[in-house]
Chain A
């Protein structure tokens, strides 16, 4: 018997499908979030599922390994910011405010967001690819068969690794950007280093530094939850791993920028 040709879904059906997929994704993420928060805090007292040094290993892989690229990109951004704003400020005889511009931009915005975007691309994609491959090769099923909760085993070390290393990397990023701005100020605009540093101290109260740290920890959590969720929910073979990794990076960057906007509203309203 010949089957009827498959009908293309209407626009309304497509919208319905997307909404359903979106809601399913939010539900999965919410469940994973609650489970992850439990395992990363109260669940720490659980049996010795993790091998000694699992969190330290993830810190090295996900955090320390990103240091060179974070430093390099932040220094380049600091350089560009200082060059562009330096020439504008020079016109008005306000060169000393170069320290304010570079410092505030790096600490409040560029440091946390740039570090998070780099880590989403580097560490988030690595987490998704690793976990998705584990799912495809039945390693996650093997964990379940040994009564090991995959969320406990996979999320806990990565959660703590990024929660600790991302703020440190953010601080390193801010320092690299500011030092690069200082170098531009001294070499191209004849600013004295001591004047630059004095202005910087006045321009950036500790409150801004803490806000940057809070943002960076939030971004770290978003990266971990989204990348683990994308990895654990993969279905299919090698192509599905690739798709999950791409989706992880896109979703992480979107979530980081959205969270940044929310924080801007909370901090500066």
Chain B
């Protein structure tokens, strides 16, 4: 025990006696570990915000779309699709939308040419759509029963369209849909689970049927399910909607796509990890190099220690322990720097910090391993030095 304590003291003093040299050989493990911790941390953190958003949006939304048969221009779902879906026990809420193809929305007089060439999709939507989507309105209100009953020509803009139209919050604005004036009553918030809704304008089912002469059959359903039943519900929805009829139905769980996006870029991570490993290896060569030179420079010290009774193995252990300290110290400092970089960049980029603390000991262990291996050769050389040659007697 006391021999180990003495050895630790000797090795530590040896390292601390040459601070600049020690700092230089520390750079290898420091940069190696820092880059590995940083690479994983940054790629995870960059997606961390998305993961948090996903958690708040919920993963239990299903979108059911009319698939249509070959050749049909605008496939639809049965008119009572929402009622049919509601009868499925695991469904908690549902809302339908209808694409109003051929309806041209023009924000201002005289801009029709452009908007005819690049039409804004107009959709008829149920009153419950925002609550099913769990999206708030940025401005104003959503379509409600008053619009339907009183036959108001109200329109709600998606957040993207509102921006495109230069709509200001609280502004009284009239836009033209197929030459009929509609009043803007609100702006729907961003819908991350279905961004197509951000670029649409919404009118009531009444307007769809009576202003634009559609049959009122929906094209798309948004359905919330009880937690944990989403996948199972998605598989039975098609049958629940068409009840064996001719309408083709396809379902998707949009959060799956988002979840895939929220996965950190593994390829980038691997490249960065490889780079970190490379730095660590090159750093190891640096340690071996500097330690070898150090053994030559300190040959007189080695001779003295042998003369006062330190054995070959003690001399070897002393130098190996110095390398080991470099590995430990470099690993710890590297990890701290890596974590600090992740926190710094994340705060600048408004990311949510995600650090895989479980992996850090692996990188640190790797730094330690590389350092000890790098120290092996110099240590053996130190142990083999002949004291008689290094002391220059006579």
Real binding pair: no
- Chain B residues close to A by CB (< 8 Å): none
